[in-house]
Amino acid sequence: MFQLIELYYEVCESWKFQVINDNHNHETAQNLEGHPYVRRFTHEKQDMVLENILHSQRYVYYTREDPETNVVEDIFFCHKKSYCWRHAFLHVLIMDMTYKKNQYRLSFIQIAGVTSTHQTFSIAHAFVSREREENYVWVLEMVKSMLNKCMEPRVIITDRYLPVMSACRMIFSEDAKYLCRWHIDENIAKHCKASFSNADWKKFKGRWANLCNSPTTELYDYNNNRLGSGVSDAHLVKQLQRYVCNNVDQ
């Protein structure tokens, strides 16, 4: 029976195929009826299916086409209930990006807000064909079009993805911009945990949590000063403090 092995190399984003057995146990098919290959959607049909879903589920959506080919490149969509919630809770805007983890192989943007009871809710979503500043600018322009001038957010939270941060500065120039605490915690654990002993890491994480949860400026300064107290690698703690001070407010 015919056997084929395929391997995917993430570094170069390419596939390698190797034929193990080139013998077939049946005659060559005369036509392709019934084969999965011919049932696959073209890119145009995939766009049509997505648009039909958005329309049937009563989403408000906008598209951005390539002016030369008229091919849809970016899609922004928002449910009408999210639209109402956005007008009720408008002070905080959270943006999170995932990269080509969906069937469309497009970057996906989720935009969320926060209620008065500290619960998050979805505001809007977008697929973008390119991870460039101009694509994110268009997405944020769509977000801004949902609001009146006097209803712009006061705080925007993102991960440290520079094109998105630059787009935020262009569209929402007067708002405070911060890095997501979860992403900061993940980066600290990824790059710094190995430099601590187990006891020092546990001690540092407890004091780091106290610092992040400081309810007043005075308590923040106090917790910041004692962050490296009793930790063997105090120099590393100082580096972390400088990292947070330099990158939290963008």
Span 100-114, pLDDT tens digits? 666 667 788 999 999
In terms of pTM, does the model score above 0.85? no
Per-residue pLDDT, averaged over 25-52, amounts to 65
Cβ neighbours of 133 (radius 10 Å): 15
* 3-state class (DSSP) for residue 106: coil
Cβ density class 156-189: b for 16+ within 10 Å, e for less: bbbbebebbbebbeebbeebebbbbeeebeebbe
Report whether pLDDT(78) > 60: yes
Inter-CA distances, 73 with 42, 62, 70, 96, 183, Å: 15, 11, 9, 19, 28
**What residues are paired with 96 via a beta bridge?**
110
Report whether pLDDT(171) > 60: yes
Report whether pLDDT(52) > 70: yes
CATH topology of domain 43-179: Nucleotidyltransferase; domain 5 (3.30.420)
